[in-house]
Protein backbone atom coordinates (compact mmCIF):
# COMPACT_ATOMS: atom_id res chain seq x y z
CA UNK A 1 0.00 0.00 0.00
CA UNK A 2 2.89 2.35 0.78
CA UNK A 3 4.23 1.80 -2.72
CA UNK A 4 0.86 2.66 -4.16
CA UNK A 5 0.70 5.86 -2.09
CA UNK A 6 4.17 6.87 -3.27
CA UNK A 7 3.18 6.20 -6.87
CA UNK A 8 0.03 8.29 -6.52
CA UNK A 9 1.98 11.02 -4.78
CA UNK A 10 4.58 11.24 -7.54
CA UNK A 11 2.05 11.06 -10.37
CA UNK A 12 -0.77 13.21 -9.01
CA UNK A 13 -0.31 14.90 -5.65
CA UNK A 14 3.20 16.34 -6.04
CA UNK A 15 2.55 17.93 -9.47
CA UNK A 16 -0.76 19.34 -8.20
CA UNK A 17 0.73 20.79 -5.01
CA UNK A 18 3.58 22.31 -7.03
CA UNK A 19 0.92 23.98 -9.18
CA UNK A 20 -0.86 25.30 -6.07
CA UNK A 21 2.36 26.80 -4.74
CA UNK A 22 3.01 28.46 -8.10
CA UNK A 23 -0.46 30.01 -7.79
CA UNK A 24 0.56 31.51 -4.45
CA UNK A 25 -1.49 29.27 -2.15
CA UNK A 26 -0.59 29.23 1.54
CA UNK A 27 1.31 26.15 2.70
CA UNK A 28 -1.55 25.23 5.06
CA UNK A 29 -3.94 25.25 2.09
CA UNK A 30 -1.56 23.16 0.01
CA UNK A 31 -1.35 20.55 2.79
CA UNK A 32 -5.14 20.45 3.12
CA UNK A 33 -5.57 19.91 -0.62
CA UNK A 34 -2.90 17.21 -0.62
CA UNK A 35 -4.59 15.40 2.29
CA UNK A 36 -8.03 15.44 0.65
CA UNK A 37 -6.71 14.29 -2.72
CA UNK A 38 -4.87 11.55 -0.84
CA UNK A 39 -8.15 10.46 0.76
CA UNK A 40 -9.78 10.20 -2.64
CA UNK A 41 -6.88 8.23 -4.12
CA UNK A 42 -7.07 5.85 -1.15
CA UNK A 43 -10.78 5.42 -1.86
CA UNK A 44 -9.97 4.60 -5.49
CA UNK A 45 -7.50 1.94 -4.36
CA UNK A 46 -9.99 0.37 -1.93
CA UNK A 47 -12.64 0.39 -4.67
CA UNK A 48 -10.22 -1.19 -7.16
CA UNK A 49 -10.57 1.75 -9.54
CA UNK A 50 -8.09 3.83 -11.50
CA UNK A 51 -7.89 7.59 -12.10
CA UNK A 52 -8.49 7.01 -15.80
CA UNK A 53 -11.87 5.41 -15.11
CA UNK A 54 -13.25 7.96 -12.60
CA UNK A 55 -16.83 9.07 -13.30
CA UNK A 56 -19.24 11.26 -11.35
CA UNK A 57 -20.74 8.21 -9.58
CA UNK A 58 -17.31 7.58 -8.02
CA UNK A 59 -17.25 11.11 -6.64
CA UNK A 60 -20.76 10.54 -5.25
CA UNK A 61 -19.70 7.27 -3.63
CA UNK A 62 -16.58 8.67 -1.96
CA UNK A 63 -18.54 11.76 -0.86
CA UNK A 64 -21.39 9.67 0.57
CA UNK A 65 -18.89 7.53 2.48
CA UNK A 66 -17.88 10.66 4.39
CA UNK A 67 -21.53 11.37 5.19
CA UNK A 68 -21.98 7.87 6.58
CA UNK A 69 -18.88 8.43 8.71
CA UNK A 70 -20.62 11.41 10.28
CA UNK A 71 -18.69 14.23 8.59
CA UNK A 72 -20.41 17.61 8.44
CA UNK A 73 -21.89 18.82 5.16
CA UNK A 74 -19.53 21.80 5.14
CA UNK A 75 -16.56 19.43 5.46
CA UNK A 76 -17.87 17.17 2.71
CA UNK A 77 -18.57 20.09 0.39
CA UNK A 78 -15.03 21.35 0.94
CA UNK A 79 -13.73 17.89 0.03
CA UNK A 80 -15.75 17.90 -3.21
CA UNK A 81 -14.64 21.46 -3.98
CA UNK A 82 -11.02 20.38 -3.66
CA UNK A 83 -11.65 17.39 -5.94
CA UNK A 84 -13.27 19.74 -8.48
CA UNK A 85 -10.17 21.97 -8.45
CA UNK A 86 -7.93 18.93 -8.77
CA UNK A 87 -9.80 17.45 -11.74
CA UNK A 88 -9.98 20.85 -13.45
CA UNK A 89 -6.20 21.03 -13.20
CA UNK A 90 -5.83 17.44 -14.46
CA UNK A 91 -8.23 18.04 -17.36
CA UNK A 92 -6.36 21.16 -18.48
CA UNK A 93 -3.19 19.07 -18.70
CA UNK A 94 -4.81 16.19 -20.56
CA UNK A 95 -4.48 13.92 -17.53
CA UNK A 96 -8.24 13.45 -17.03
CA UNK A 97 -11.31 13.44 -19.23
CA UNK A 98 -13.74 16.00 -17.91
CA UNK A 99 -14.37 17.08 -14.33
CA UNK A 100 -16.53 14.47 -12.55
CA UNK A 101 -16.58 16.51 -9.33
CA UNK A 102 -17.84 19.73 -10.90
CA UNK A 103 -21.44 19.37 -9.67
CA UNK A 104 -21.21 16.84 -6.84
CA UNK A 105 -21.61 19.08 -3.80
CA UNK A 106 -24.31 18.57 -1.22
CA UNK A 107 -26.74 21.41 -0.83
CA UNK A 108 -29.25 22.45 1.80
CA UNK A 109 -32.58 22.92 0.01
CA UNK A 110 -34.61 26.04 0.68
CA UNK A 111 -38.10 25.59 2.06
CA UNK A 112 -39.75 26.42 -1.28
CA UNK A 113 -37.54 23.84 -3.02
CA UNK A 114 -38.52 20.93 -0.80
CA UNK A 115 -40.68 18.08 -2.12
CA UNK A 116 -44.35 18.19 -1.22
CA UNK A 117 -45.59 15.60 1.24
CA UNK A 118 -48.99 15.17 2.85
CA UNK A 119 -49.76 16.36 6.35
CA UNK A 120 -51.15 13.82 8.80
CA UNK A 121 -54.59 15.39 8.34
CA UNK A 122 -54.42 15.19 4.54
CA UNK A 123 -53.31 11.56 4.68
CA UNK A 124 -56.14 10.66 7.06
CA UNK A 125 -58.70 12.42 4.82
CA UNK A 126 -57.42 10.55 1.77
CA UNK A 127 -57.64 7.13 3.41
CA UNK A 128 -61.07 7.90 4.88
CA UNK A 129 -62.37 8.84 1.43
CA UNK A 130 -61.03 5.61 -0.09
CA UNK A 131 -62.75 3.64 2.68
CA UNK A 132 -66.12 5.04 1.55
CA UNK A 133 -66.01 3.34 -1.86
CA UNK A 134 -69.01 1.01 -2.12
CA UNK A 135 -67.69 -1.22 -4.89
CA UNK A 136 -65.72 -3.97 -3.04
CA UNK A 137 -63.33 -4.47 -5.99
CA UNK A 138 -62.46 -0.78 -6.29
CA UNK A 139 -62.36 -0.19 -2.55
CA UNK A 140 -59.94 -3.03 -1.90
CA UNK A 141 -57.70 -2.24 -4.87
CA UNK A 142 -57.58 1.52 -4.31
CA UNK A 143 -56.77 1.16 -0.62
CA UNK A 144 -54.00 -1.26 -1.56
CA UNK A 145 -52.67 1.31 -4.05
CA UNK A 146 -52.68 4.03 -1.40
CA UNK A 147 -50.93 1.86 1.17
CA UNK A 148 -48.23 0.88 -1.32
CA UNK A 149 -47.60 4.52 -2.23
CA UNK A 150 -47.78 5.88 1.32
CA UNK A 151 -46.14 3.05 3.27
CA UNK A 152 -43.80 1.53 0.70
CA UNK A 153 -42.80 4.71 -1.15
CA UNK A 154 -42.86 3.22 -4.63
CA UNK A 155 -42.57 5.23 -7.82
CA UNK A 156 -45.61 5.28 -10.08
CA UNK A 157 -44.06 2.93 -12.64
CA UNK A 158 -42.92 0.58 -9.89
CA UNK A 159 -46.50 0.24 -8.64
CA UNK A 160 -47.62 -0.93 -12.08
CA UNK A 161 -44.71 -3.39 -12.24
CA UNK A 162 -45.61 -5.12 -8.97
CA UNK A 163 -46.43 -8.81 -9.21
CA UNK A 164 -48.65 -10.92 -7.00
CA UNK A 165 -45.47 -12.68 -5.89
CA UNK A 166 -44.04 -9.30 -4.82
CA UNK A 167 -46.09 -9.45 -1.62
CA UNK A 168 -44.35 -11.24 1.24
CA UNK A 169 -45.41 -11.16 4.92
CA UNK A 170 -42.70 -8.71 5.94
CA UNK A 171 -41.43 -7.10 2.75
CA UNK A 172 -42.38 -5.99 -0.76
CA UNK A 173 -40.24 -6.87 -3.78
CA UNK A 174 -39.91 -3.98 -6.24
CA UNK A 175 -39.30 -4.76 -9.91
CA UNK A 176 -38.19 -2.90 -13.03
CA UNK A 177 -39.23 -4.73 -16.21
CA UNK A 178 -39.09 -8.04 -14.42
CA UNK A 179 -35.74 -7.44 -12.68
CA UNK A 180 -35.71 -7.16 -8.89
CA UNK A 181 -34.59 -3.69 -7.80
CA UNK A 182 -34.93 -3.71 -4.03
CA UNK A 183 -36.97 -4.98 -1.09
CA UNK A 184 -38.88 -2.65 1.20
CA UNK A 185 -39.90 -3.67 4.75
CA UNK A 186 -43.68 -3.98 5.08
CA UNK A 187 -45.75 -3.31 8.18
CA UNK A 188 -48.57 -5.65 9.18
CA UNK A 189 -51.35 -3.22 8.26
CA UNK A 190 -50.08 -2.81 4.71
CA UNK A 191 -49.65 -6.57 4.37
CA UNK A 192 -53.23 -7.13 5.57
CA UNK A 193 -54.50 -4.56 3.07
CA UNK A 194 -52.61 -6.15 0.17
CA UNK A 195 -53.71 -9.64 1.22
CA UNK A 196 -57.33 -8.50 1.22
CA UNK A 197 -56.88 -7.10 -2.29
CA UNK A 198 -55.31 -10.34 -3.54
CA UNK A 199 -58.29 -12.26 -2.16
CA UNK A 200 -60.72 -9.83 -3.78
CA UNK A 201 -58.84 -10.08 -7.07
CA UNK A 202 -59.07 -13.88 -6.93
CA UNK A 203 -62.85 -13.70 -6.52
CA UNK A 204 -63.21 -11.90 -9.85
CA UNK A 205 -64.22 -14.22 -12.65
CA UNK A 206 -62.39 -12.56 -15.55
CA UNK A 207 -59.89 -14.78 -17.29
CA UNK A 208 -57.37 -11.94 -17.71
CA UNK A 209 -57.06 -11.72 -13.91
CA UNK A 210 -56.32 -15.42 -13.60
CA UNK A 211 -53.52 -15.34 -16.16
CA UNK A 212 -51.98 -11.99 -15.16
CA UNK A 213 -48.96 -11.98 -12.84
CA UNK A 214 -49.40 -8.27 -12.12
CA UNK A 215 -50.62 -7.32 -8.66
CA UNK A 216 -52.83 -4.44 -9.75
CA UNK A 217 -55.47 -4.82 -12.44
CA UNK A 218 -58.32 -2.71 -13.76
CA UNK A 219 -61.92 -3.76 -14.30
CA UNK A 220 -61.09 -4.39 -17.96
CA UNK A 221 -57.45 -5.42 -18.02
CA UNK A 222 -54.98 -7.70 -16.27
CA UNK A 223 -52.48 -4.84 -16.05
CA UNK A 224 -53.01 -1.45 -14.41
CA UNK A 225 -50.93 1.06 -16.33
CA UNK A 226 -49.31 4.07 -14.60
CA UNK A 227 -51.87 6.44 -16.09
CA UNK A 228 -54.69 4.41 -14.57
CA UNK A 229 -53.05 4.66 -11.13
CA UNK A 230 -52.70 8.43 -11.60
CA UNK A 231 -56.37 8.66 -12.54
CA UNK A 232 -57.38 7.07 -9.22
CA UNK A 233 -55.27 9.52 -7.19
CA UNK A 234 -56.42 12.53 -9.23
CA UNK A 235 -60.03 11.52 -8.63
CA UNK A 236 -59.49 11.58 -4.87
CA UNK A 237 -57.70 14.93 -5.09
CA UNK A 238 -60.64 16.47 -6.94
CA UNK A 239 -63.09 15.26 -4.28
CA UNK A 240 -60.89 16.39 -1.40
CA UNK A 241 -60.22 19.81 -2.86
CA UNK A 242 -56.40 19.80 -2.65
CA UNK A 243 -53.74 18.63 -5.07
CA UNK A 244 -52.30 15.14 -4.63
CA UNK A 245 -49.94 13.31 -6.96
CA UNK A 246 -48.54 9.81 -6.72
CA UNK A 247 -45.13 11.37 -6.10
CA UNK A 248 -46.55 13.35 -3.15
CA UNK A 249 -47.44 10.02 -1.56
CA UNK A 250 -43.93 8.67 -2.17
CA UNK A 251 -42.55 11.88 -0.62
CA UNK A 252 -44.80 11.32 2.39
CA UNK A 253 -43.23 7.89 2.90
CA UNK A 254 -39.72 9.38 2.78
CA UNK A 255 -40.56 12.25 5.11
CA UNK A 256 -42.14 9.88 7.63
CA UNK A 257 -38.97 7.78 7.67
CA UNK A 258 -36.89 10.91 8.27
CA UNK A 259 -39.19 12.05 11.09
CA UNK A 260 -38.85 8.63 12.70
CA UNK A 261 -35.08 9.02 12.77
CA UNK A 262 -34.37 6.42 10.10
CA UNK A 263 -30.67 6.48 9.11
CA UNK A 264 -30.23 8.13 5.73
CA UNK A 265 -28.54 5.01 4.36
CA UNK A 266 -31.73 2.99 4.95
CA UNK A 267 -34.01 5.71 3.60
CA UNK A 268 -31.88 5.84 0.44
CA UNK A 269 -32.01 2.05 0.05
CA UNK A 270 -35.74 1.63 0.69
CA UNK A 271 -36.74 4.56 -1.52
CA UNK A 272 -34.33 3.50 -4.25
CA UNK A 273 -32.65 6.91 -4.45
CA UNK A 274 -29.50 7.05 -6.56
CA UNK A 275 -27.96 9.87 -4.54
CA UNK A 276 -27.84 10.89 -0.89
CA UNK A 277 -28.71 14.38 -2.13
CA UNK A 278 -32.23 13.18 -2.84
CA UNK A 279 -32.57 11.45 0.53
CA UNK A 280 -31.08 14.33 2.50
CA UNK A 281 -33.82 16.83 1.60
CA UNK A 282 -36.40 14.86 3.59
CA UNK A 283 -34.50 15.62 6.82
CA UNK A 284 -34.83 19.37 6.30
CA UNK A 285 -35.97 21.20 9.42
CA UNK A 286 -35.62 18.16 11.68
CA UNK A 287 -33.40 18.21 14.75
The predicted model gives 274-287 an average pLDDT of: 83
Residue 178 has pLDDT above 90, yes or no: no
Residue-level pLDDT at 219: 84
- What's the pLDDT band for 1 if we cut at 50, 70, 90? very low
Q: What is the pLDDT of residues 76-95, one digit of tens each?
A: 889 999 999 999 999 998 88
Q: How far is CA 236 from CA 204, 218, 224, in A?
A: 24, 17, 17
Q: Which of 35-39, 42-46, 207-211 has the lowest mean pLDDT?
A: 207-211
Segments of the chain assigned E as strands: 171-176, 179-185
Q: Is the dihedral angle over the CA atoms 135, 138, 141, 146 positive or is it negative?
A: negative
Residue-level pLDDT at 183: 96
User: CA–CA separation, 184 vs 256, rounded Å?
Assistant: 14
Q: What pTM value is reported for the model?
A: 0.70
Please give the domain boundaries of the chain with CATH numbers for all domains.
2-106 (1.10.150.130), 120-283 (1.10.443.10)
Amino acid sequence: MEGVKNQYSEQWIEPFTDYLREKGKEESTVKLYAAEIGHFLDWLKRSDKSMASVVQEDIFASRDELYIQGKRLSTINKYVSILASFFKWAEERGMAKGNPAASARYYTPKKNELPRWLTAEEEASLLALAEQEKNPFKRSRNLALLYVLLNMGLRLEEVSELQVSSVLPDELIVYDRGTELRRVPMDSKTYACLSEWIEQRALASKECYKTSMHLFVTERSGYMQPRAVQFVIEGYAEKLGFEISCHDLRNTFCRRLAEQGTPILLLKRWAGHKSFLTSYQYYSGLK
